[in-house]
């Protein structure tokens, strides 16, 4: 049915802030529509709270392309689905994509959706049926607990059994939503696997690496974040992105530099798809080595600047001291002439004592200075007879 674009809202679980439709993808859809005059299928549901409005399940890139082409209406396939299916169908649209951004977005949507549900439930019994089923099928509970849960009748369980399940449920909440729970939820009631647990685990690894780890009791940081997800998502395949994540940790590339590093690696290729995981790791390693060499040169440059500065200060000090010596020598010559003209006995008392002390200090200073000059001064003490 044809629906006015103005009446269509995005999927409430679609993260359009962190994962907006790419410019390249929108342009591709626009070119396809203009060339074929065909409108690719877009699936929506009736808005659950707003009358006469609709929510996209998937097809946000196509909707953005239609808006830019100036289309007023588009053909929608309407499918009334519940909230669980809204996130599952959104994720399934990206299941065959090898683009890191699309994989990470899908896993992020499911993770946040399940986390919100878990946070709002205080016991296993309060969980929605589909999530209960997912937990029953996953290795979150032991065999004995599973058999109890599969009865789907909590009234038949003893207080001890209910308490045991409550403790296990609390443990799952404390550990967070892991790959097994997401995998089982995504693949529930399907005849074949749509999402592999490995693919989900690798996507989660990106989130853990970007969030860091904290002690659940003290909230102290156990492990600092070490990856910029957006830098890794610049690569054209999950394999390359994973290799990049591993390499920046190994070679300690700061988060603030990772986008530049990713851009450099990609720009040096003939095609964005070129390059194996090992080549990405090697490229990161080479950049890290080059940076260390540059850093070493920078340290040497700083040392040279410091040495030059010290030499300049020394030259200025020598010039200043030299001027003082000239003035001091003139003053001493003048004093010597005066003493020769006058009776030396006039020059006596406290003045002589102070003058002697000051002369001693001057001579000591010259002795300390003389090893750096062309002459050496040595103090020879007078004997009593000479005195």
Cα 255–245–292 angle (5° rounding)?
Answer: 55
This prediction has a pTM of 0.67
> How many of the other CB atoms lie within 10 Å of CB of 308?
10
Give 46-94 pLDDT, tens digit per residue: 999 999 999 999 889 999 999 999 999 988 889 888 898 899 888 888 8
| Domain formed by 1-81, architecture | Alpha-Beta Complex (3.90)
String of b and e for 281-292 (b: at least 16 CB within 10 Å)? bebbeebbeebe
Give residue 307's pLDDT. Answer: 80
CB 232 within 8 A of CB 245: yes
Give residue 212's pLDDT. Answer: 83
Furthest-apart CA atoms within the chain: distance in Å: 128
Report domain extents, the chain: 1-81, 348-387
pLDDT in tens, the chain (387 residues): 788 999 999 999 988 888 888 888 899 999 998 888 777 778 899 999 999 999 999 889 999 999 999 999 988 889 888 898 899 888 888 888 888 998 999 999 999 998 888 888 887 778 887 777 777 666 555 555 556 555 555 566 677 777 777 777 777 777 778 888 888 888 876 777 788 889 999 999 999 999 887 776 676 777 889 999 999 999 989 999 999 999 999 999 999 999 999 999 998 887 766 778 899 999 999 999 988 888 777 777 777 877 888 888 888 888 888 888 888 888 888 888 887 777 666 556 656 777 788 888 888 888 888 888 877 777 776 655 554
DSSP 78: E
Give residue 309's pLDDT. Answer: 80
Cα–Cα distance for residue pair 378/366, rounded to 1 Å = 10
Sequence-separated (6 or more) residues with CB below 8 Å from residue 236: 98, 99, 272, 273
Cα–Cα distance for residue pair 254/381, rounded to 1 Å = 67
User: Is residue 221 helix, strand or coil?
Assistant: strand
Question: What's the CA dihedral at 106, 108, 113, 117 to 10 degrees?
Answer: 140
String of b and e for 197-223 (b: at least 16 CB within 10 Å)? bebbebbbebbebbeeeeeeeeeeeee
Cα–Cα distance for residue pair 32/210, rounded to 1 Å = 36
Which helix H or strand E contains 30, and what residues bound it? helix 23-36
Give residue 37's pLDDT. Answer: 79
Using alpha carbons, select from 97, 1, 92, 83 the residue that is nearest to residue 48. 83
Cα–Cα distance for residue pair 172/135, rounded to 1 Å = 10
Look up tokens 């439930």; give the residue: 121
Q: How many CA atoms lie within 13 A of 236 on its CB side?
A: 11
CB 152 within 8 A of CB 223: no
Give residue 55's pLDDT. Answer: 94
C-alpha distances in Å from residue 255, one per residue of 202, 208, 222? 19, 14, 18
């Amino acid at each position: 049915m044809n629906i006015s674009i103005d009446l269509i809202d995005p999927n409430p679980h679609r993260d359009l802030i962190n994962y907006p439709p790419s410019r390249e993808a929108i342009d591709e859809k626009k070119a396809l529509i203009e060339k074929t005059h065909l409108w690719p299928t877009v699936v929506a549901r009736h808005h659950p709270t707003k009358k006469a409005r609709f929510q996209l399940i998937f097809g946000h890139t196509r909707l953005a392309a239609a808006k830019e082409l100036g289309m007023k209406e588009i053909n929608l396939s309407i499918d009334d689905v519940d909230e669980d299916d809204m996130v599952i169908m959104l994720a399934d649209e990206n299941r065959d994509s090898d683009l890191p951004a699309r994989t990470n977005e899908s896993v992020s949507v499911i993770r946040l959706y399940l986390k919100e549900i878990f946070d709002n439930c205080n016991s296993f019994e309060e969980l929605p049926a589909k999530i209960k089923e997912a937990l029953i099928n996953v290795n979150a509970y032991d065999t004995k607990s599973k058999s109890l849960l599969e009865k789907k009748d909590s009234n038949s369980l003893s207080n001890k059994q209910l308490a045991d399940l409550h403790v296990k449920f609390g443990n799952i909440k404390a550990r967070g939503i892991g790959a097994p729970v997401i995998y089982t939820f995504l693949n529930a009631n399907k005849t074949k696997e749509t999402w592999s647990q490995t693919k989900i685990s690798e996507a989660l690894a990106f989130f853990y690496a970007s969030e860091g780890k904290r002690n659940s009791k003290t909230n102290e940081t156990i492990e600092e974040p070490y990856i910029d997800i957006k830098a890794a998502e610049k690569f054209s395949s999950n394999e390359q992105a994973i290799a990049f994540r591993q390499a920046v940790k190994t070679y300690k590339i700061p988060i603030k530099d990772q986008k530049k590093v990713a851009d450099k690696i990609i720009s040096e290729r003939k095609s964005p798809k070129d390059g194996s995981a090992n080549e990405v790791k090697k490229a990161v390693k080479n950049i890290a080595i080059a940076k260390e060499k540059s850093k070493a040169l920078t340290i040497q440059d700083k040392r040279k600047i410091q040495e030059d500065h010290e030499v300049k200060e020394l030259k200025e000090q020598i010039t200043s001291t030299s001027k003082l010596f000239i003035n001091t020598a003139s003053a001493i010559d003048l004093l010597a002439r005066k003493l020769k003209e006058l009776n030396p006995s006039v020059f006596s008392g406290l003045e002589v004592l102070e003058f002697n002390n000051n002369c001693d200090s001057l001579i000591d200073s010259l002795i300390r200075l003389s090893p750096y000059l062309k002459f050496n001064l040595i103090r020879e003490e007078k004997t009593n007879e000479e005195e």
